Chains A and B, each alone.
Chain A
């Protein structure tokens, strides 16, 4: 049995299924419910169709909408604020 594919979210390994978006995997992992020390959500998600920009993350150094970005194994994904 092979290990499930994972990407790195702020230092935490997040498993995902092939073909899933970053957003789907992050929501399953409850990333939108985890509050950061400043009270902001580490991940927020709203429209799901790449329009509202709420789910913007930095994936391998690039700012992308998590809801239209396929998850890839080993990707380094960070919250983006500011």
Chain B
């Protein structure tokens, strides 16, 4: 079949690079010039990842701040100069017990089992979204989800929008919605970064060393101010209700007063975390290296540096050279993210107070009450027992959107401080994402019969 031949992948390859966001682009550009052979894939047809999602028609308006545009130009130029070629619409499914890197060619409808010498994984972050009563309703999406469509289409969603949650991204999205001509009704922020003392201490110094961060934040807040969009700090969404064709977003403000916004869309966001689900651990043979936000969620600037550093480590390992040291840029961004986290720290524990009927696992409809009942049965249940008997982290998203919340709630219910690692709940098993059985059995490589 001509199409199958056209989509076949190289049988022998030194390095498989997964992901074409900032880390993947930096890594691919660096490796392409190293003399090692490269297979570079991404789930989307083009480079950029979520952070640098480009307008679909290639010429629409960009909502990205100047520093992001500069990074995009820099990375695009580096990739172009290196000659690295991206295979779009290919998904990495994981590493099987025979050492096969499983790569799904989505357009070709087949799965390949490849044996690269090294796998550099740069699949970015996923958003953390805390459960709220009604967050499973249609019209509720993640802030990042709203942002990528905005970037892709150049248009804001039609109708009334409320942005809520925690962290700087909510403000960025709101400012971009203003720029796109549909200012949100409000931005509800669970923390209070302007409270006395929020920015004081070691963290403030880290932020001052990165004027870019402060300048961008200032620009976003000024845009909200000019558009009359309230930034309600110390304010949490108590519930989302279906009200006719629209949503009623119930909130409680910093003074404890309740209110409601009638809206068509609610964008939620409570931070980001590494997208590590179903991925092989770093190390071993083949050599597996994680880079960028999927290793440590520090944002695009750190990801670029980390991707380049990971490429050097891979090249060094495959050629028996000494590895490079940790980059100063990454240490700096770590300090910035830590400072922002302290500034935005929410005032209260949002999970313990949730009513029993709040959905925890969106895939399987498992609730906070289901988890409480299990813990009440036996406080000593292991995470795996909770997973299996409560069906948490067992749905099609494989725990990406409930795992952290389940572990945090378990810790809270058992009166422990830090939640246990989410991998105890989700495991580390391929496939890293659902894959059609037809595709799995279609790609019969000689190596795997």
Please report A residues at the B interface, Cβ cutoff 8 Å. 17-21, 23-24, 27-28, 30, 32-33, 35, 40-41, 44-54, 56, 62-64, 67-70
Q: Which of B109, B147, B362 contacts A54 (CB 8 A)?
A: B362
Given contacts A19-B56, A20-B56, A48 and B142 within 8 Å (CB-CB)? yes
Are B56 and A67 interface neighbours, CB within 8 A? no
Among residues of B, the one whose C-beta sits closest to the C-beta of A64 is B106
Enumerate chain A residues within 8 angstroms of B44, measured Cβ to Cβ: 50, 68
Given contacts A20-B56, A32-B139, A50-B43, A45 and B145 within 8 Å (CB-CB)? yes
Query: With the chains together, A28 CA to B56 CA distance in Å?
Result: 14
Please report B residues at the A interface, Cβ cutoff 8 Å. 43-45, 50, 56-58, 89, 106, 109, 124, 126-127, 138-142, 144-149, 152-153, 155, 157-159, 245, 264, 275, 362-363, 395-397, 400-401, 433-434, 436
Enumerate chain A residues within 8 angstroms of B106, measured Cβ to Cβ: 64, 68-69
Given contacts A49-B145, A52-B401, A62-B436, A68 and B152 within 8 Å (CB-CB)? no
- In angstroms, how far is the closest chain B Cβ from the Cβ of A76? 16
Are B138 and A47 interface neighbours, CB within 8 A? no
Are B126 and A33 interface neighbours, CB within 8 A? no
Enumerate chain A residues within 8 angstroms of B146, measured Cβ to Cβ: 48
- In angstroms, how far is the closest chain B Cβ from the Cβ of A12? 17
Are B138 and A53 interface neighbours, CB within 8 A? no
Are A44 and B138 interface neighbours, CB within 8 A? yes
Query: With the chains together, A30 CA to B395 CA distance in Å?
Result: 27
Enumerate chain B residues within 8 angstroms of A50, measured Cβ to Cβ: 43-44, 433
Given contact pairs A47-B141, A51-B433, enumerate 10 new A-B contacts (beta carbons under 8 Å): A19-B58, A21-B56, A23-B149, A33-B264, A35-B245, A48-B148, A51-B275, A52-B397, A52-B400, A63-B436
Enumerate chain A residues within 8 angstroms of B433, measured Cβ to Cβ: 50-51
Among residues of A, the one whose C-beta sits closest to the C-beta of B55 is A19
Among residues of B, the one whose C-beta sits closest to the C-beta of A20 is B56
Enumerate chain B residues within 8 angstroms of A30, measured Cβ to Cβ: 158
- Secondary structure call for the A interface: loop
Q: Which of B126, B139, B152, B434 contacts A47 (CB 8 A)?
A: B126
Query: With the chains together, A24 CA to B144 CA distance in Å?
Result: 14
- Secondary structure call for the B interface: loop
List the 4 shortest-distance A-B pairs measured between CB atoms, nearest first: A48-B145, A41-B138, A19-B56, A48-B148
Are B363 and A27 interface neighbours, CB within 8 A? no
Are B362 and A48 interface neighbours, CB within 8 A? no
Are B436 and A49 interface neighbours, CB within 8 A? no
Given contacts A33-B138, A52-B397, A24 and B152 within 8 Å (CB-CB)? yes
Query: With the chains together, A20 CA to B396 CA distance in Å?
Result: 25
Enumerate chain B residues within 8 angstroms of A64, measured Cβ to Cβ: 106
CB<8 Å pairs between A and B, sample of 8:
A24-B152, A28-B155, A33-B264, A46-B140, A46-B141, A49-B50, A49-B145, A53-B363
- In angstroms, how far is the closest chain A Cβ from the Cβ of B252? 24
Query: With the chains together, A63 CA to B138 CA distance in Å?
Result: 20
Query: With the chains together, A28 CA to B152 CA distance in Å?
Result: 12
Are B126 and A20 interface neighbours, CB within 8 A? no
- In angstroms, how far is the closest chain B Cβ from the Cβ of A48? 3
- In angstroms, how far is the closest chain A Cβ from the Cβ of B418? 25
Among residues of B, the one whose C-beta sits closest to the C-beta of A42 is B138
Are A47 and B56 interface neighbours, CB within 8 A? no
